[in-house]
Chains A and B, each alone.
Chain A
Amino acid sequence: MAARTDQLAPLDLIGFDTDFLLGLYRRMVQAREFEEQLYYLFLSRPMPGTMHQATGQEAVAVGVTSALRPDDYVTSTHRGHAHCVAKGVELNPMMAEMFAKRTGSCKGMGGSMHLCDFSRGMLGAFGIVGAGIPIAAGAALSALVRGSGQVAVSFFGDGATNEGVFHEALNMASLWKLPVIFVCENNQYALSMTVSESSAVPDIAKRGAAYAIPGVQVDGNNVIEVLKAAQAAVERARAGAGPTLLECITYRIRGHARFEASHYRDPAEVEQWKQLDPITRLGDALLADGRVQPDALEQVRNEVKADLEAAIAFAESSPDVEPDEYLQYIFDEEPAHA
Chain B
Amino acid sequence: MREMSMMAAIREAIVQEMQADPRVILLGEDVGKFGGAFHVTHGLLEEFGARRVWDTPISEAGFMGLGLGAALTGLRPIVELQYADFIFCAMDQVVNEAAKIRLMSGGQASVPLVIRAPQGATGRGAQHSQSVEAYFMHTPGMKVVLPSNPYDAKGLLTAAMRDNNPVLFLEHKMLYGSASPGGGKAVSDPTIGRFGMDVPEASYMIPLGKGAVVRNGKHATVVATGVMVHRALAAAEQLAAEGIEIEVIDPRTLAPLDADLILSSVQKTHRAVVVTEDARRAGVGAELMAVIAGEGFDDLDAPVIRVCADDAPIPFAPAAQDRVIPNLNDILAAVRRVTSDE
* Residues in A lying within 8 Å of B, measured CB to CB: 48-50, 97, 100-101, 106, 108-114, 126-130, 159-160, 162-164, 190-193, 197-199, 255-261, 264, 320-327, 329-330
Contact = CB atoms under 8 A, between A and B. Distances in A.
A128 B58 contact: no
Interface of B: 29-30, 33-34, 37, 55-62, 85-86, 88-89, 123-128, 181-184, 311-313, 315-320, 322-324
Given A49-B316, A111-B125, A163-B58, A264 B34 contact: yes
Given A113-B128, A128-B127, A160-B58, A326 B315 contact: yes
B57 A193 contact: yes
B24 to A, nearest CB: 22
A326 B323 contact: yes
Contacts of B29: 190-191, 193
Contacts of A329: 315
Nearest to B90: A164
Majority SS of interface residues in chain A? loop
Given A191-B34, A323-B323, A260 B183 contact: yes
B174 to A, nearest CB: 15
B323 A49 contact: no
Contact of A48 (B61, B88, B127, B317): B317
Nearest to A160: B58
B43 to A, nearest CB: 13
B126 A114 contact: yes
Contacts of B61: 164
Nearest to B127: A127
User: Which of B30, B124, B182, B312 has its CB near the most chain A CB atoms (within 10 A)?
Assistant: B182
24 contacts: A48-B123, A49-B123, A49-B125, A50-B182, A106-B316, A108-B317, A111-B124, A112-B125, A113-B127, A114-B126, A114-B127, A127-B128, A162-B58, A162-B59, A162-B62, A163-B89, A190-B57, A192-B33, A193-B33, A255-B182, A259-B183, A322-B320, A326-B317, A327-B312
Closest 9 CB pairs of A and B: A260-B182, A111-B316, A192-B34, A162-B57, A321-B317, A323-B323, A127-B127, A108-B317, A198-B57
Given A49-B316, A325-B317, 14 more contacts: A108-B317, A109-B320, A111-B124, A113-B124, A128-B86, A129-B58, A190-B57, A190-B58, A191-B37, A193-B30, A193-B57, A259-B182, A260-B181, A326-B324
Given A192-B33, A192-B34, A199 B182 contact: no
B122 to A, nearest CB: 9
A100 B34 CA distance: 31
Contacts of A159: 57-58
A323 B126 contact: no
Contacts of A112: 125
A164 B93 CA distance: 13
B58 A258 contact: no
Nearest to B83: A127
B41 to A, nearest CB: 12
B273 to A, nearest CB: 22
Contacts of B55: 192-193, 197-198
B184 A108 contact: no
Contacts of A110: 125-126, 316
A130 B316 contact: no
B319 A322 contact: yes
